[in-house]
Amino acid sequence: MSARWFTNTNPALRRFWHPVAAVVELDGPGPHPVRLLGDDWVLAELGGEWSVLPATCPHRMAPLSAGQIVGDRLQCGYHGWCFDAEGSCVEIPALGVGAKVPPTAHLAVPFGVEERYGLIWVAVEEPVAPIPSVAEWDSPRFGHAPMPRQVWRATAAQMTDNFLDVAHFPFTHLDTIGNPDEIEVGNIEVSRDGWHFQAVYGHTARSIEQSAAAGAADADVVERVMTFTCWAPHHLRLFIDYGPDGDLLLLFFHQPIDDDNTGLFVLILAENIADGRMTAEDQIAFQVAVGSEDRAMLERLRVKAIPLDPGFETHTRADRTTVELRRLLSDVWALATDDEREGVMPASIAPPAANYAHARSTTGAAVWLHTSGVVPIAPDGTVPDGLIAQAEVIWANIAAMLEDAEMSGADVVSVTTYVTPGLDLAPVMAVRDQALGGALAASTLVVVQELAQPEWLMEIAIVAAR
C-alpha cells in the first residue's frame, strides 16, 4: 500500500469549504473560469447570487466561460443552451419552445456556494465543517486590508505548514520580521477541538511599523504573542498581540487549484489601520514582503505534498504546531475511501528519494506517472561519484516509482534530461537505454548552467502512461 501523502487533490477535500475568488477582483457577473481540486468550473452571478457550474457544456463540451449571462441564466456561446443556477438545462434553442430537455443535459453543481469575507466559497460535496468564523470581522476596532489573490507553486497544506511554523522566522524572514537573536523556540501551547486546533506562542519580533517605514535593520525588537487557529483542512487565523502597539489579525484562506498550485487569499485586520498609524497599502506591502520570503522557499520544494507518516520526516519539540497540522490532516485523510484516494498520491519511495521526486498517477482511461527533479541520491543518502554511477542511481529511483505505480520502463513515454555543459552524454544514454529495456521514449536534452546542487551532474524528469 502507498504511503499517505496529502496533496491538493485529496478526495476528502471535496467535503470542506474552499475560496475560489475575491469578489472585488471579478470583472462583472461572469462567467469566470475557476479551478478547484484539479477540476474546472465557471463562476457566474445568476439572479443576484453567485453560482458555480461545471466548466463545459454537456452538448459539445464547449467552455461555458466563453458563454454569456442572459437574465438569470448562463447561455453557452456555441449552441445557446441555457442553464439556471441549479445547473438545470432550461432551454435548447434548436429544439424550439417547450421541447423536452434530455436528462443528461443538466449539470451537476457543487453542494454549496457562499459569499463570506468578500470571498466566494465552494463546497463540492456536503461539508463536514463550516466556513471559518471570524468574530472580529465586523469590529470597528480593526481596519481591513485584503491582499490581492496570489498563486503559489506549492500545496495548501505546505503553505499552512509554513505559516504555522515559528522556527523559520530568524532564518527566512531576516529582511522583515525575523529576530536573529531569538533562534531557540520556547514553549508552544496547543489544544485541539474537533476540526480545528489552537496554538499560543510568545516571542520577540521586529516592529512592523518601523520595518515598513525604514527597513528591518532599523526596527526595534518588540514582544508579541501569536495565537494560531487552524481550521480543517488548511485555513489559518493568526492573531498577534503587539501589546501597546495594537493587535493584528491575519487570515490565510487557501484554494487548492491542482496538485502543484494553490491560490492564496490573505485578509489583514489591524488596529493600526483603524487608528491611522499605518495605511492599508503599507500593511499590504509589508505582508507581501514577508510572504515573498516564504514563497521563495516553498516553491523550491520538489514534492508537492505533505507526508502524513511520521517516518518520512524528522520532527522536534519546536514543531508542535506543524505536527498538530499533520494530525488534523490525517483525520481529513480518513474521510476518503481507499478507492477515492487511489490515483492522487505521490509514489511511496523510501527516503531519501521521496524527498527529491514528485510523482503521481491518475485513474480513469489512462494512468499517468509524472516525476520531476529525479536526482542521484542513493539509498544511504550519498551522491555517487562519476556520471555513470549517478545515472544508474537515478534510473533505480525511477524504477522504484514505476514499480510503485505498477508500471515498467515500457510505459515511459518521455524523458527530459538536464545536464551542465561539457558532459559526455554517451554513458548517460547507455544507462538510460538499459534501464528502459530497449523501449523507445521521446527524449529531450536541456543544457543548464547549474543544477540544484553542485555535486549533481544531471537531473531527469519522466512521464509514463498506460
Return the domain boundaries, the chain.
Answer: 17-123, 135-321, 348-465
C-alpha cell at position 35: 479551478
pLDDT, residue 429, reads 81
Partners of residue 49 on adjacent β-strands:
46
Average pLDDT over residues 33-55: 95
Average pLDDT over residues 283-308: 86
Backbone phi, psi, residue 273, to 5°? -85, -45
C-alpha count within 13 angstroms, C-beta hemisphere, residue 57:
25
CA distance 209 to 213: 6
Q: For 126-154, write each residue's pLDDT tens digit.
A: 999 999 999 999 999 999 999 999 999 99
Percent of the chain with pLDDT over 90: 44
Return the residue matching grid coordinates 525575523. Answer: 178
pLDDT, residue 37, reads 93
Given a cut of 50, is residue 355 above it in pLDDT?
A: no
Amino acid identity at 355: N
Q: What is the mean pLDDT of the chain?
A: 83
CA distance 239 to 26: 28
Q: Given pLDDT bands bounded at 50, 70 and 90, which one contains residue 449?
A: confident
Superfamily for the 135-321 domain = Naphthalene 1,2-dioxygenase Alpha Subunit; Chain A, domain 1 (3.90.380.10)
Residue 192 and residue 221 in contact, taking contact as beta carbons nearer than 8 Å = no
pLDDT, residue 396, reads 82
Given a cut of 90, is residue 29 above it in pLDDT?
A: yes
CA distance 216 to 218: 5
Beta-strand pair 39-46/150-152: unpaired
Residue 372: partners with Cβ closer than 8 Å, 6 or more residues away: 302, 357, 358, 461
Return the residue matching grid coordinates 457544456. Answer: 57
CA distance 349 to 441: 23
Region of poorest pLDDT, from 44-53, 223-232, 371-380, 396-405? 371-380
pLDDT, residue 296, reads 87
Average pLDDT over residues 281-294: 87
pLDDT, residue 466, reads 73
pLDDT, residue 11, reads 92
Average pLDDT over residues 320-340: 87
| Domain 348-465 = CATH 3.40.50.2300 | no
Given a cut of 90, is residue 426 above it in pLDDT?
A: no
- 3-class secondary structure for the chain? CCCCEECCCCHHHHHCCEEEEEHHHCCCCCCEEEEECCEEEEEEEECCEEEEEECECCCCCCEHHHCEEECCEEECCCCCCEECCCCCEEECHHHCCCCCCCHHHCCCCCCEEEEECCEEEEECCCCCCCCCCCHHHHCCCCEEEECCCEEECCCHHHHHHHHHCCCCHHHHCCCCCCCCCCCCCCCCEEEEECCEEEEEEEEEEECHHHHHHHCHHHCCEEEEEEEEEEECCCEEEEEEECHHHCEEEEEEEEEECCCCCEEEEEEEEEHHHHCCCCCHHHHHHHHHHHHHHHHHHHCCCCCCCEECCHHHCCCCHHHHHHHHHHHHHHHHHCCCCHHHHCCCCCCCCCCCHHHCCCCCCCCCCCCEEEEEEECCCCCCCCCCCCHHHHHHHHHHHHHHHHHHCCCCHHHEEEEEEEECCCCCCHHHHHHHHHHCCCCCCEEEEEECCCCCCCCCCEEEEEEEEC
Closest CA to 455 of 386, 355, 379: 386
Q: Given pLDDT bands bounded at 50, 70 and 90, which one contains residue 251?
A: very high
pLDDT, residue 128, reads 96
Closest CA to 206 of 196, 220, 195: 220
Closest CA to 102 of 119, 88, 118, 120: 88
pLDDT, residue 48, reads 92
CA dist 466 → 156, 237, 360, 363 (Å)? 29, 43, 13, 10
CA distance 365 to 466: 9
Quick one: how far is CA 188 from the chain centroid? 26
Given a cut of 60, is residue 363 above it in pLDDT?
A: no
Given a cut of 60, is residue 345 above it in pLDDT?
A: no
Q: Given pLDDT bands bounded at 50, 70 and 90, which one contains residue 343?
A: very low
Given a cut of 60, is residue 222 above it in pLDDT?
A: yes
Give pTM, 2 decimals: 0.72
CATH topology of domain 17-123: Rieske Iron-sulfur Protein (2.102.10)
pLDDT, residue 147, reads 94
Range from 108-122, 190-204, 218-232 that averages highest in pLDDT = 108-122
Closest CA to 370 of 416, 336, 338, 410: 416
Given a cut of 70, is residue 113 above it in pLDDT?
A: yes
